[in-house]
Chain A
C-alpha cells in the first residue's frame, strides 16, 4: 500500500467531524449516479445488496409457503386413520420435499438473504465486499430452486426422506430419477451457501463502520460470523456425501453397498456431520436478530454482551460434536454414544445463557408489546420448550424410545419454528420500516401472531404424546384403535390455524410493503446503524461509532451522516466504493471499488443451474455445454475484476488518506481465497475420512483381497512433482515483488509450473488404473479413484486459472502493483499441490502402515 499510514487507533473520537460543510457541489450527485440501478430488464443485473437482499428474502418466503402447503396436504391426509386423500407415493414425495425445501430452500437461504440485506446496513458498509458473488448465489438459488420444486409437479420428486439414506437411495432400491433430483438439485444450494459464507466472513471482518472494534460489533454480526464459519466447516460434508452417492448411482461405485465393502453408515456420518450443525446454522442468525430486536423494543442496552458472544462461539464449536445423536439407534458402542450425549447436553448451556441474557435485558427496560415484541415472546416460549425436549432426546436411552417417532417431529418443529420462524417474523415486522415506505399493520400483526402462536402449539404439542404412544415418523397413514386419532386430528386443525396466520401476514405485506423509495424511518427508536438515513448507497458517509448503541449515544449521528460530515461522503473513483477496515480495531485501511451490475454473473448462475438440471434428467451433452458456457461466463465476470488502482490515494476525511487498491494478506480477495481453501480442505478431509472409515469397516484386508496397490515409486514421484510445481510458483511470486515492473520470467515460470502439476495429477490416477484398480469392484477402489480423480479435477481448475492469468498478463493487466489475480491463483495453486501430496501420502502410506490391522 503506497500511502501515508493512517491513525493507529480509532478508539477515541476523531477531533472534530472529518468533513466540513458545505460539501462540494457534485459530490452527492456523483455518489447517487454511481449507485443508480440500471433501468428496464437490465435491472435484473443489479448487485446492490439492498435489491438482491429483498429478492432473496422474497424467494425464500415463496419456498416457505410452498413447503407449508405440502405440510397442509400431509396433515389433511393424517387427520383420520386409513385416510386416502393422498396416496402413499404422493405422500412420500410430499414429506421428503417438505423437509428438503424447508431446510435447503427456505431456512438457510432466508437467514442468508436477511444478512445480504441487513449486514452492510448494520455495519454502515456501502455493500457486501463481493456483490456479484451474492447476486450469483441468489440467481443460482432462484433458478435451481424452481427447477427442484418442479419435480413435485412432474411426479418425480425425491421420495426417500430429506436425509436420503442408502441403500434405499441406491440405484437398486430407487431406480427412478427422484433421488438424482435431490442429489444434483441440492448442488447449487451448496454453492449458494458457500458463496454466502465467504461473503459474510469477509464482510463482517473487513467492512465495518470506523471504530466498530470487536467489542462494539453488533451481536448480529457476531452471529453471522459464527454462522458463516460453521457453513465453511459443515457444508463440505454434505457436498462430498452427495458427490459420493451420485457417483454410486451413476457409475456403480459401491461406497454404501455392504456387499462390496461399502457401508450405509458412511453416508449417515457425512450427512449428520453437516446435518446437525445445519440446524444451529439456521438458529444462530435468528438468535442474532433477537439480540438486536430485544434491546430495541426494551429501549435498553443488551445485558451480558460478552456472555452472549461466548454463547455464540460455544454453540458454533459444540454443535460439531453432536452429530451421532441422530444415529443413537444404529448399534454403535455405548461409549461412543455417551460422548455425543455429553456434548448434546453441553450445547444446551450456551442457549440457556442467551435466553437469560434476553430476559435480563427485558427486565432492564420497558418492553412495549408491539408485534415484533410479541413474536419475541412467542419465540422464547416455543424455543425454550423445544430446547428442553432437545435435552431429553440428548439422553441416549430416551432417544431409543423417541427416535423416529412423532416426539422428534414435535421437538424439531418447536426448535425450528420457535427458534427460527418466530424470530424471522419478528425481524420482518421490525425491519420492514428500513426497506419500505410503510411499516406493517400493528393491528393485523396481533392476529398474525395469535394465529401462528396458537396454531403452532395446537399442531405440534400433541405430537409429543402421539410419538410416545407409538406413532412412527414418515408414515402416510396409521391404524385406528391405537389412540392416535384425536392427537392427529388436533394437530391438523392447529396446522391450518398456523397457515391462516401466515396467509394474513402475506396479505398485510401486499397491502403495506412498498420498497424502493424512502423508508419509514426509525419508528422503533432503535440504537443501531441500519436505522440511519439511507439510500441505494446505504449511508451517505461512513461514521465513527463510540459504542454498541450508536444512535442512542451519538444523537447527532443521523444528521451528520446524511450531511456527509463523516468518512467517504462521495466517490473517489466515480464508481461504487466501500470502505475496508481492519478486523479487530476497525481502522480504515483502503477503498474497495466494488463491482456493479453486469450480465456475466446472472448468465453464469443460469448456466450453473442448467448444468445441474440437465444432468438430473440425464441430458449429459447438453449439460456439458451449459457447464462450459457457465465457466465461460465466470471467466468473463472475472476478467472485469482486479482493475488495479483507479485513482491515487485519496483523503476520505479528517486527513485519513487511503489507497484505492490493495493486494496481499489483509486484502479482501486474499481473505476470500483463504476461506475457499478451507472449504476445499474440508471437502478433501471428508473424503480422506471416508477412505479411513471404509478401512475401519473392512477388517479382513486393506486393500481387499485381489486388489493391488500402485507401486510406491509412483507416489513418491507424484509428491516430488507437486512440490516442484509449488516451488516454481513461489519463485514467480517472489519475482513479481522484485524491482521489475513486468518481469517476463513470471509467465514463463507459471507456464512451467503447469507441467509437473499435470504430470503428477495424471500419474496418480494412471498408476492405479494400470494395476487394475476397479472403482466398481470394491469400496476401496471407489475411494481411491475418487481421491485421485478429485485431485485431477483440482489440477484442471489450476490449468484454467493459469490460462486465465497468462491471458491477463498478455493483455497487460498484471504487473508489480496490479497483482491480485496472480496472488489468488498462486494461493489456490499451493493448496492444490498440498492436497495432492496429502492424497498420495494417504493412498500409498496408509495401507502400507496399517493395512494389516
Chain B
C-alpha cells in the first residue's frame, strides 16, 4: 500500500448519505424540517433523557419567541402606517413594556429553573461512571472498576449501555476543553484543577458524536469522539473485551508490525496492555482496532488511514502532539498499520 500524502477518501461516520441526489433530498429535508441531515451530532435529534427535555425547552422558547417577535413587528408596522391611538399612550408602553415581559419572563424563569433542576441531575447509585480527561487534541477515557468488572483505559471513543444512567467525570490535563454530546445532554467544561460532572441516561441505541466545545488551541476544530449506545448485553460484551489484554498477532507480518512498534519507540507514549508497552502520554492503543475512527474522530479506522496517520500526522492535523514518522514507509508502515488494525 502506498503512503498517503493527501487525506484518504472519506467514509462519513453516519449512515445512508452518498451521492448528489441524496444531497439534494437532504437539503430539501433540511429546509423543511430545519433538522439538518445528520442525527449523530444534533441537539434536534435527542437520544437521551436530558437532550429530549432540552429540546422541548428549545421548541417552547423558539415558538414563544417567534410569536413575540411577530407581535412586535406587527405593532411596529401599525405604528408606522396605521398609528392607532391606543398605541400612542404611555399606559400602553407600561402594559407592553413592563407588565407583559414581567409576566412572560416570570413563567419562563420558573420553568427554566425547574428544567435546570432536572437536567444534569445527580445520577443514582447504579450509574455507570466513566472518566474523561481532555487533552490537546484528544480524549483520554477510563472506565473504573465497576463491581466485579475490572477497569481499563481507552481513548477517543466512549460506549454506554442504553437505559442505565451514565456519569461522566471530567477534567483536563492541559487547558480548558469541553464535552458536548448533543444527542444526549448539554455540554460541560473540563477545567484543569477541577472535576466536573455530566449525568444523563442514553435511551436510543446508535452511534453519536461528541465534540470539544471550548477553544483549546490550534486543532480545537478537529477534536471529536465517537459515542456508541448499545443494548446492555452488547455493552457488557464490549466492556469485557476492552478489559482483556491485547490480541496476539496471528502472522509473521503482523508480528513484524509489533516489532516495528517497539523499535520506533511508540511504547514510550502509547500503552498496549499485555504486549509490554505502557506509555501514558498518548492514547491507549490496546484495542485501537476496535474503534470507529482515529485521530480523535477525524478519519475512519482502517489500516490505510492508520498508516497515513503515523507517517504524516503533522500534515493531517498540524499541531497535534504526536510527531510524524515519515521515515516509516512501504512494507514496514503496512506491517505496523496492520498490527494496530488487528488490536481489536
**Chain A residues with a Cβ under 8 A of chain B:** 88-89, 92, 160-161, 165, 167-168, 173, 258-259, 263-265, 303-304, 307, 329-331, 334, 337-338, 341-342, 345-346, 348-349, 352-357, 359-360, 362-364, 366-367, 369, 377, 380-381, 384-385, 388-389, 391-392, 394-401, 403-405, 465, 468-470, 472-484, 486
Contacts and interface: CB of A to CB of B under 8 A. Distances in A.
B289 interface: no
Contact of A400 (B93, B120, B195): B120
Contacts of A486: 27, 30
B166 to A, nearest CB: 16
Contacts of A480: 10, 12
A258 B176 CA distance: 12
Contacts of A479: 12
Interface string B165-197: 000000000111010101001111101111111
A363 B108 CA distance: 30
Contact of A355 (B14, B72, B196): B72
B36 interface: yes
Contacts of B211: 470, 472
B174 A397 contact: no
B275 interface: no
Contact of B213 (A303, A356, A403): A403
A359 B65 CA distance: 19
Contacts of A355: 72, 97
B243 interface: no
A360 B87 contact: yes
Q: Tell me if B's interface is mostly helix, strand, loop or mixed.
A: mixed
B105 interface: yes
Contacts of B83: 363-364, 366
Contact of B187 (A161, A342, A352, A403): A403
B41 interface: yes
B191 A88 contact: no
Contacts of B176: 165, 167-168, 264
A391 B12 CA distance: 36
B98 A400 contact: no
B333 interface: no
B124 interface: no
B94 interface: yes
Interface centre among A369, A474, A481 (most CB of B within 10 A): A481
A811 to B, nearest CB: 56
Interface in B47-75: 53-54, 57-58, 61-62, 65, 68-69, 72-73, 75
Nearest to B298: A479
Contact of B119 (A258, A400, A469, A476): A400
B38 A483 contact: yes
Nearest to A168: B175
Contact of A404 (B41, B89, B93, B213): B213
B61 A401 contact: no
A241 B112 CA distance: 32
A263 to B, nearest CB: 6
Contacts of B318: 88
Given A173-B175, A307-B90, A400 B42 contact: no
Contacts of B89: 303, 360
A353 B97 contact: yes
Contacts of B96: 352, 356
B93 A356 contact: yes
B102 A349 contact: yes
Nearest to A470: B41
Contact of B189 (A329, A385, A399, A482): A329
B54 A400 contact: yes
A472 B213 contact: yes
B196 A482 contact: no
Contacts of A349: 97-98, 101-102, 105
List the 8 closest pairs (A to B, CB-CB), nearest first: A400-B186, A258-B193, A483-B36, A331-B196, A475-B221, A470-B41, A469-B36, A395-B112
Nearest to B29: A483
A403 B54 CA distance: 13
Nearest to B121: A334
Interface string B10-49: 1011100100000000110010001111101111100000
B122 to A, nearest CB: 10
B42 A397 contact: no
B18 to A, nearest CB: 10
27 contacts: A165-B176, A167-B192, A168-B217, A304-B90, A330-B191, A331-B189, A342-B109, A348-B105, A349-B97, A349-B101, A356-B92, A380-B76, A384-B69, A388-B65, A395-B57, A396-B116, A397-B115, A398-B57, A400-B185, A468-B58, A469-B42, A472-B221, A480-B10, A481-B12, A481-B13, A481-B14, A486-B30
A330 B214 CA distance: 11
Nearest to A307: B93
A391 B115 CA distance: 15
A403 B214 CA distance: 9
Given A470-B43, A483-B42, 10 more contacts: A352-B97, A360-B87, A395-B108, A397-B53, A398-B57, A469-B44, A470-B211, A480-B10, A483-B26, A486-B27
B35 A346 contact: no
Interface centre among B72, B215, B217 (most CB of A within 10 A): B215
B319 interface: yes
Nearest to A467: B43
Given A352-B100, A356-B96, A397-B119, A259 B30 contact: no
Nearest to B81: A367
B68 A476 contact: no
B192 A89 contact: no
A337 B62 CA distance: 22
Contacts of B214: 165, 404
A364 B89 CA distance: 8
B193 to A, nearest CB: 3
B8 to A, nearest CB: 13
A367 B14 CA distance: 54
Contacts of A399: 186
A161 B215 contact: yes
B117 interface: yes
Contacts of A483: 26, 30, 35-38, 42
B79 A363 contact: yes
B43 A469 contact: yes
B323 interface: no
Contacts of A391: 61, 65, 105, 108
A346 B104 CA distance: 11
A89 B73 contact: no
Contacts of B54: 397-398, 400-401
A666 B127 CA distance: 67
Contact of B42 (A173, A381, A470, A481): A470
Nearest to B95: A356
B266 to A, nearest CB: 25
B256 interface: no
Interface in B200-244: 209, 211-222
A385 B119 CA distance: 27
Contacts of A329: 178, 186-189, 213
Contacts of A401: 43, 54, 58, 182, 186-187
Nearest to A380: B76
Contact of A385 (B61, B69, B79, B209): B69
A398 B57 CA distance: 7
Nearest to B100: A352
Contacts of B197: 331
Contacts of B192: 167, 258, 264
A465 B34 CA distance: 7
B274 interface: no
B221 A88 contact: yes
B275 to A, nearest CB: 33
A469 B35 contact: yes
Contact of A362 (B57, B80, B194, B217): B80
A468 B43 contact: yes
B213 A389 contact: no
A263 B193 contact: yes
